[in-house]
Amino acid sequence: MAEGCLRVGQLAPDFTATAVVDQEFKTVKLSDYRGKYVVLFFYPLDFTFVCPTEIIAFSDRYEEFSKIGTEVLGVSVDSEFSHLAWIQTDRKSGGIGDITYPLISDLKKEISTAYNVLDPDAGVALRGLFIIDKEGVIQHSTINNLSFGRSVDETLRTLKAIQYVQTHPDEVCPAGWQEGDKTMIPDPEKSKVYFAAV
């Protein structure tokens, strides 16, 4: 895939890599998660500052993702040994402690490159986040620069909107849609029902 052309609506590039899962090294393949939604997020480095806040936030709310058929996968260019050391370091000492989802090693930077999130000057991944549907298609992507983190709330909101429209193909979700909010029918006449109600 040519650089810079990865976009929503395309199949997510598959990969096979070593991950730390429950403090053990395991081989994971993205295609093994077909049939589930996947939140795939990249972060620059282990043992840094913004990264642990994101990793812990996703871990602490993992149940919410799991309940709606979603796996979370974290990726950085660190080795699996670095991931394990970071997990085995207490949160109060700058570690992340036990986490609830796999942390993937992208030491050769192949995954970061495939997803167009590698910052070649820094040699690390930008804060890319991809929501991949059950068919392996990218439905959402966002990339933050290195110095600011992402929102678990916004990721969950977007994921639920994707799941809603995929199970209600005649409806669309308006701006800021939250679970339980009104949706609209994308038709010049039928959409007036929504606009009249708001």
Which pLDDT band, with edges at 50, 70 and 90, does 196 fall under? confident
Residue 184 lies in a domain: no
- pLDDT per residue as tens digits for the range 144-166: 988 888 899 999 999 999 999 99
CA distance 148 to 76: 16
Assess if residue 85 is contained within a domain. yes
Query: Does 178 score more than 90 pLDDT?
Result: yes
Residue 187 domain-assigned?
Answer: no
Q: Per-residue pLDDT averaged across 164-183, rounded? A: 93
Owner of token pair 């709310």: 61
> Mean per-residue pLDDT for 76-104?
92
For residue 41, give its domain range: 16-150
- Residue 82: inside a domain, yes or no? yes
pLDDT at 188: 87
In a domain, 164, yes or no: no
Q: What's the pTM?
A: 0.92
Helix (H, G, I), strand (E, B) or coil at 128: strand
Q: What's the pLDDT band for 53 if we cut at 50, 70, 90?
A: confident
CA distances from 55 to 41, 46, 49 (A): 9, 10, 11
The pLDDT, as a whole number, for residue 1 is 36
Q: Is residue 165 part of a domain?
A: no
Residue range 91-113, pLDDT digits in tens: 888 889 899 999 999 999 999 99
Q: Could you confirm whether 5 is annotated as catalytic?
A: no
CATH number of domain containing 128: 3.40.30.10
Into how many domains does the chain fold?
1
- Helix or strand run (H / E) with residue 162: helix 152-167
pLDDT band at 4 (very low <50, low <70, confident <90, very high): low
pLDDT value for 11: 97
The one catalytic residue in 51, 125, 129, 131 is 51
Residue 104 within any structural domain of the chain: yes
Chain centroid to CA 115: how far?
12
Residue 145 domain-assigned (yes or no) = yes
Average pLDDT of the chain, as a whole number: 92
d(CA 187, CA 149): 37
Could you tell me where the DSSP H helices lie in 12-131?
50-60, 62-67, 80-87, 110-114
